Amino acid sequence: MNIGIITQARMTSSRLPGKILKEVKGKSLLTYHIERLKHSGFPVIVATTTNETDNPVIDFCINKGIPYSRGSEENVLSRFYNAAVENNLDIIVRVTSDCPLIDPHLIRNSMEKYLKFNNENLYVSNVIDRTFARGFDFEIFSFRLLEDAYKNATESADLEHVTPYIRKNIKGDTEFYDIKQSKNHNDLRITVDTAEDFQLIQELIVTFDADLLPYNGIEEILLQHPELIAINAHIEQKKV
């Protein structure tokens, strides 16, 4: 089984352009993101667009020796499919590059659970019945499910967000497994989409070395410091 993490990345965020290459302590958010993902033990592939505005992402990947794939800005599903084909993946972990503090061991442990099922119709994630802070998001699915979505999805939302078609379970044979924790921290926000989000990440890394901590350590810092939560508590996540 070839397992790979595909992360989508682009420079033209509507609310915070260029966010993934913004730096904290001399390192870009994309560097933190990929360095943490590599601790999972799985290869990481960056899926970006063919737009010239994303040439800096390609330069980053070349300089860091990270595999990349370029495709449509709007049809992210096709971008993921092509990245999976180019890297001969059997199992895909989907993440997004606006999560610089994503937890690699959470992904690794969840993959071990996924593999035990030995079921290519299985979709595993922590994003449907959400109990983790937003920013630790991941989805695991087979190439077969990805290919089925690529060949059959037609609605713009399905193409833009990659997995909605899989979640619709139109054929009725997809099985779902939610990764959850006992405490519900889904109201915490550790993803980066706005200047306030970046401010929080900066504070977490500079003051608390959050880039060296697991997800529960980061969540605990926030719970102990409500002033940190307040930095971006008013930010609404974009609707899928």
Domain spans, the chain: 3-188
Calpha distance 80→66 (Å, rounded): 16
Calpha distance 47→71 (Å, rounded): 7
* Mean pLDDT of all residues in 184-192: 97
What is the model's pLDDT at position 14? 85
CB-neighbour burial class of residue 187 (10 A; exposed 0-12, middle 13-18, buried 19+): exposed
pLDDT band at 236 (very low <50, low <70, confident <90, very high): confident
Which of 205-225 are b and which e, b meaning 16 or more Cβ less than 10 Å from the residue's Cβ? beebebbebbbbebbebbeee
Calpha distance 21→136 (Å, rounded): 19
What is the model's pLDDT at position 86? 98
What is the model's pLDDT at position 239? 65
Q: Which fold has domain 3-188?
A: Spore Coat Polysaccharide Biosynthesis Protein SpsA; Chain A (3.90.550)
* Closest to 57 measured CA to CA, from 39, 81, 33, 89: 33
Calpha distance 48→69 (Å, rounded): 6
- Tell me the average pLDDT of the chain: 97
What would the pLDDT profile of 193-230 be if each residue is shown by its tens digit?
999 999 999 999 999 999 999 999 999 999 999 999 99
